[in-house]
Amino acid sequence: MPQGDLNTMSYAILGILSARDWSAYEVAEQIGRGMSEIVPRADRQRYNAPKKLVERGLVTARTEPTGTQRSRTIYSITPEGRAAITEWMATETKASTMEFEGLLRVCVADLGSIDDLRNTLRTVRAQAEMKRQVFVANARLIKTPGAGSFPGRQHVLAMSAKYMVGHFTHIISWVDWMLDEVADWPDTVTPVETHADRIQAILDGIIEEYGDSSPAQE
């Protein structure tokens, strides 16, 4: 049946559960292994999203003892859940989005000091290096055929890891480039005039390399 009102996070959970049954903790753990970098809201919904799928009949939940006085919740995908994600796979994907606070700070850097800008860039670089290592570690984990949590997806997970490592490598390269560019900026305001020629060269390079066929946005 149509499930057009499910969000991306819901399909991420269904994708995890389609491999096998998982405990609530294991589902949250899988999200923490890089999925939250692909679906930004995933980290905030890692515990509540499966419960909503249970309410929809797309997932079932059962309680199992853990050997102590405690118990754990085990989630399983239902036939309706499998049908929902199969149907979703055949639909047109949404355009990618991005949530990048560091880049926003660059966009309004004239409201802060040059030290603020440089510190932001260094922090962005350190964060990108750390996140890149998450996907390098994932690649190392699934390298052996049959290893990892999703051995049947080794081929597609390898492709995804390649993209994510490249994504964070691009951020690192961009930060290094920008730190060089702002090395002689005395502040974050006057370069619009003192470095006008360099700024024009950067913009011309973008237009020359990638074209100018889309409507201008300010």
Please give the pLDDT value at position 43.
62
Please give the pLDDT value at position 110.
98
Range with the largest mean pLDDT of 5-19, 64-78, 183-197: 183-197
Which of 21-25, 145-149, 198-202 has the weakest average pLDDT? 145-149
Average pLDDT over residues 141-147: 88
Please give the pLDDT value at position 89.
96
- 107-131: pLDDT as tens digits: 999 999 999 999 999 999 999 999 9
Question: 8-89 has which fold?
Answer: Arc Repressor Mutant, subunit A (1.10.10)
Where residue 215 falls (left for φ over 0; alpha for ψ -120 to 50; beta otherwise) is: beta
Please give the pLDDT value at position 39.
82
Q: What is the pTM of this model?
A: 0.86
Average pLDDT over residues 200-207: 96
Please give the pLDDT value at position 1.
46
Report percent pLDDT > 70 for the chain.
92
Please give the pLDDT value at position 38.
86
For residue 49, pLDDT over 90 is answered with no
Please give the pLDDT value at position 168.
98
Q: How confident is the model at residue 2 (pLDDT cuts 50, 70, 90)?
A: very low
